[in-house]
Amino acid sequence: MTKKTALYEVHIQLGAKMMPFAGYEMPIRYTGDKDEHFLVRNKVGLFDVSHMGEFIFRGNDALPFLQSITSNDVSKLFVGKAQYSCLPNLSGGIVDDIILYRLDNAYMMVVNAANIDKDWNWIQERKQSTNFSDLDIVNISEQTSLIAVSGPKSTELVSQLTQSKIQDLKYYEVVRCKLLNFDNILVATTGYTGEWTYEIFCSNEQVVTIWDALMEKGKDFGVKPAGLGARDTLRLEMGYMLYGNDINDETSPIEAGLSWITKLQKGKFCSSEIFQNQKDNGVSKKLVAFEMLEKAIPRHDYLIVDAFGNEIGKVTSGTMSPCLEKGIGMGYVKPEFSNIGSEIFISIRNKPAKAFITTTPFVKNTSVQQKNKK
């Protein structure tokens, strides 16, 4: 049975097109993907991302346990900081990519909606196979709602709802504050669009009131709701990965260009020996970003070929970039074709369309990039 977020009726009233996604009825679009895309790039949009999962880790063994199951170095996290990481499996693949938050008395892990049960079961298996006894793990996904307020005007908008100096937060930080009349609301500066974002974690009972207040206070800033369609084009313009497309149980973080979150020096963790071997001896495929040189839109699972038509890889994500007005995408190719500037071809209806390997983000000078320069 498809689940509904606590904002479901709000989306219906706002005229959203609802579709099943990751086990939930979610708003795919309201007015249109392109309109909502530029809304977030230029002003501020509201996303309901309450389908995401949240796990809480407490106890003296929380840190060593998390060190053993995640790829990044959790010891570097201090209270108020967030960290991008992944859960490796035992065969060199990725169970999920996650964000880990260090709270005042716990760690909170946010996982992808489609992977909540899978991740929970994996974590429980790892707990049972270790000797960590002072460890309490709670799945709070069902009672937790999440709104992402994203865009250059997001700080001005969220500031209307709280006395806390959320404008002082840096990228990938989290604070517990009073929002409206609600105490202990978590507000994090993490996001999936490339624009400055405040992710507001609250209870299902609080979320409609907070959403309505954001919509009302945001009228002066041009706020509107945005759907998952725009969220996908926004994330792809930044080169952000989507689990199930760009990474999965069969891809390693080394192959996916995630060596920067794979801290082998921290000690042993799931598949760390496999990743060390890949770093030392190379991999058989690499995730690359590419731009089309012809008027064509790359799509998931399209073949990538060389100049002679030989298959060299496969597209994992692709779209027409609203900002660049050209086709962009990501995909795995053989390492010898992964150099920046290399020419490749995307096989579209059995016809090769020329493209070239480039760097991410595809779109420059977003509000996140501007803030990070300060």
Strands 45-48, 224-225: pairing is: parallel
Residue-averaged pLDDT of the chain: 97
Q: How far apart are CA 191 and CA 199, in angstroms?
A: 7
Strands (E), 219-285: 224-225
Q: How far apart are CA 19 and CA 17, in angstroms?
A: 7
pLDDT for the residue numbered 131: 87
Contact 70, 77 (CB under 8 A): no
Report residue 38 as tokens: 């530029």
Report residue 26 as tokens: 């979610």
Q: Is the pLDDT of residue 357 over 90?
A: yes
Q: How far apart are CA 41 and CA 235, in angstroms?
A: 11
pLDDT for the residue numbered 258: 98
Domain spanning 285-358, CATH class? mainly beta
User: Residue ranges of the domains in the chain?
Assistant: 3-50+142-237, 285-358
The CA-atom distances, in angstroms, between 168 and each of 77, 164, 264, 325 are 19, 9, 33, 35
The sign of the torsion formed by the CA atoms of 215, 229, 330, 346 equals: negative
Q: Is the pLDDT of residue 100 over 80?
A: yes
Report residue 282 as tokens: 């190379």
- List beta partners, residue 28: none
- List beta partners, residue 94: 88
Backbone angles phi, psi at 149, to 5 degrees: -100, 110
Name which of 83, 74, 91 is nearest 272 in CA terms.
91
Place of tokens 């390693």: 252
Q: Is the pLDDT of residue 113 over 90?
A: yes
pTM over 0.95: yes
Q: Summarize the confidence of residues 329-349 as an average pLDDT.
A: 97
Residue type (1 letter), 315:
V
Q: How far apart are CA 306 and CA 351, in angstroms?
A: 12
Domain spanning 3-50+142-237, CATH class? alpha beta
Q: Give the pLDDT band (50/70/90) at residue 374.
A: low
pLDDT digits (tens, 9 = 90+) for 309-325: 999 999 999 999 999 99
